[in-house]
């Protein structure tokens, strides 16, 4: 069964203090790893998809990296508006009826103080 | 372009009552999903559909039913509401293109069963 574990559960940073969020996963053949941002009372918003080990993607202050066992979301010089819950999800390769399903981690709640 | 629309946004049910959570998307996506999110937890997959007329169970299907008669709509039915079904429900849709498997989420339905 696919599993995703995110750490830490909560992270408090000062504005400008860079850090990383971790997503460890086990999946029977990774098709894609996804990062989402979720603001309170809203649905998750897509950030990145990573498909293979060594791949990196960037968007503003966020950079996602992928290895064979985990992914990191690096936040450089964060601002208060980066405060949100960050969710990681994995999708297994096509096979039977498992194609397309996303398995989510529990999320990391990021708070950035001014 | 509305994306994924869920109704209602909030609902209070009494134990044993029934209701349907509505979800519609206007992006012509094949895949649609229903997730529930409990406080401090990640999203748990209830049911998903890979196209009109095809549905399958996710991790936590007990107490729920779905149907997919059109590409656009994917309603979730609760037949006999129980307090354990108090949660926030998210509908999502996605494409099957090999290069782009991100899912787009609705704003959620907050359901309380009392």
Tell me if chain A has a CB within 8 Å of the CB of B105. yes
Question: Which one of A42, A99, A102 has the shortest CB-CB distance to B107?
Answer: A42
Query: Contacts of residue A34 in chain B, CB cutoff 8 Å?
Result: 102-103
User: What tens digit of pLDDT does each residue of B39-97 get?
Assistant: 878 899 899 998 999 999 988 999 999 999 999 999 999 999 999 999 999 999 987 65
Cβ A45–B40 below 8 Å, yes or no?
A: no
CB of B45 within 8 Å of a chain A CB? The answer is yes
Sheet holding A19-26, edge to edge: A3-7, A19-26, A70-75, A62-66, A56-59
Mean residue pLDDT across chain A: 91
Residue B46's nearest CA partner among B28, B65, B24 is B65
- Quickly tell me which residue has 């008669």 as its tokens: B69
Q: Which residues are bridge partners to B58 per DSSP?
A: none
Cβ <8 Å between A44 and B90? yes
pLDDT tier at A100, thresholds 50, 70, 90? low
Instruction: Report the chain B residue with the minimal C-alpha distance to residue A10.
Output: B40
Q: What is the pLDDT of residue B98?
A: 47
Is the CA virtual torsion A44, A50, A53, A57 positive or negative?
negative
């Amino acid at each position: 069964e696919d599993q995703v574990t995110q750490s830490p559960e909560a992270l408090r940073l000062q504005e400008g203090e860079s850090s990383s969020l971790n997503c460890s996963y086990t999946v029977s053949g990774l098709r894609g790893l996804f990062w989402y941002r979720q603001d309170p009372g809203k649905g998750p918003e897509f950030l990145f998809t990573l498909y293979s080990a060594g791949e990196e993607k960037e968007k503003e202050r966020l950079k996602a990296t992928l290895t064979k066992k985990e992914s990191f979301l690096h936040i450089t010089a964060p601002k208060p508006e980066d405060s949100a819950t960050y969710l990681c999800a994995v999708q297994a390769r096509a096979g039977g009826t498992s194609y397309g399903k996303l398995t989510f981690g529990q999320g990391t709640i990021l708070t950035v103080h001014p | 372009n509305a994306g994924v629309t869920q109704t209602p946004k909030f609902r209070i049910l009494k134990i044993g009552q029934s209701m349907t959570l509505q979800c519609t998307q206007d992006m012509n996506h094949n895949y649609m999903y229903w997730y529930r999110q409990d406080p401090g937890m990640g999203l748990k997959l209830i049911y998903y559909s890979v196209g009109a007329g095809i549905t399958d169970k996710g991790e936590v299907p007990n107490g729920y039913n779905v149907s997919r008669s059109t590409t656009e709509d994917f309603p979730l039915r609760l037949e006999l509401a129980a307090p354990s079904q108090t949660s926030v429900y998210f509908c999502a849709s996605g494409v099957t293109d090999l290069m782009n498997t991100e899912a787009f989420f609705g704003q959620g339905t907050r359901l309380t069963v009392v």
